Structure 1
């Protein structure tokens, strides 16, 4: 009798959703292993174009991206040095690194834009979705040195680094240290809709769920 192939938790990351969603969203996940294959400039421009067309409050588009590619080793190492040590361990293999930056005030009148981080997140969601469509993967990181990034890139007052991003083609997760393989092998999970979709009062689950 032929045995069915066993699932590899380091590779098989497509999720079973509670309700149907587009396959591109099911396929999006954040890897720790990247191939040494460089990202073609036209694909990189495409993912940034997707970010460009994200929705934003008053169409302010309060996002900027500082980008470094591995074919420019000086700039790549410069940006890599802003990452937390634990993230440097695996992100050094990614062919593209970025830091996203939010403009904190509206250009239109100079007042505080309390939606700036939200809008940068929307741009990054577009970027990640477009990357997935092109066979690329994105890993967003909170673990980086904000003050170092500000100083290193002369980011002015009124702008704030939001997160760091690694982007590239997926690599072999079995090449990672055991500790990172264990991290990757954990089942993917999300809260149930009833835990965060409310009607009537706070934490009163909607009947839709």
Structure 2
């Protein structure tokens, strides 16, 4: 596969009212629940996204992340969705794929990785941004029975699910997206003001 086989998406709408200039891709990124139920995630898209996550930084290059990806209509997708809380199952069925972000807390030589969760978060961020570059959206969620998901895939103790995300193409088509979801996706996006993000004043 070469990058020429992929379609890079340039932001067409800046959704985030930033207080300082940032990369357009980040200014446009968001996490909708309304997905196009006809979109199919290609092998090229999936490979590109996971490749981006593969190159996330980690302590001593330990790479303590593993992913479970199930496309809509597959047994893997169904297993992941069955582990979600009911309020998430109401909209995830339209996603192109469901992703479980897992972390491996012990290195290959048996040493404990104290920053495994932090590093998994960095991989998830890379995963998210690369998806956006391909014109896809990722909605991460905490409403899942992670223990049940681990059991359904017979995961070893060394691979621990930490979060789930829905991946796909945004849609607000009234024919396939319920009004509650449409309204939630249309809500104003907000963040804490910059001066509240510094634990101590910047110098």
TM-score of Structure 1 vs Structure 2, range by shorter chain: 0.7 to 0.9
Retained in 2: the 8 A contact 1:13–1:188? no
In structure 2, what is the equivalent of residue 182 of structure 1?
A: 183
Work out whether 1:44 is the aligned partner of 2:31. Answer: no
Matched residue of 2:99: which SS?
A: strand
Question: Matches of 1:173 and 1:126 in 2, distance apart?
Answer: 29
Q: Give CA-to-partner distance per residue, 1:111-140, whole Å, 9 cap, x none.
A: 2x2211111110111111111111111111
In structure 2, what is the equivalent of residue 195 of structure 1?
A: 196
In structure 2, what is the equivalent of residue 156 of structure 1?
A: 156
How far apart are residue 169 of structure 1 and its match? 1.3
Q: Give CA-to-partner distance per residue, 1:151-206, whole Å, 9 cap, x none.
A: 1111212332110011111122644333333322321111112112133xxxxx33
With normalisation by structure 1, the TM-score equals 0.84
Larger Rg: 1
With normalisation by structure 2, the TM-score equals 0.86
Retained in 2: the 8 A contact 1:100–1:120? yes
Retained in 1: the 8 A contact 2:34–2:181? no
Gaps of 5+ in 1: 1-11, 200-204
In structure 1, what is the equivalent of residue 145 of structure 2?
A: 145
In structure 2, what is the equivalent of residue 70 of structure 1?
A: 72
Matched residue of 1:101: which SS?
A: strand
Retained in 1: the 8 A contact 2:66–2:159? no
In structure 1, what is the equivalent of residue 168 of structure 2?
A: 168
Gaps of 5+ in 2: 1-12
RMSD: 1.9
Matched residue of 1:127: which SS?
A: helix
How far apart are residue 69 of structure 1 and its match? 0.6
Q: Check 1:66–1:99 CA distance in 2 against 1; reply closer, same or farther (3 A cut).
A: same
Question: Matches of 1:160 and 1:49 in 2, distance apart?
Answer: 21
Question: Matches of 1:13 and 1:177 in 2, distance apart?
Answer: 24
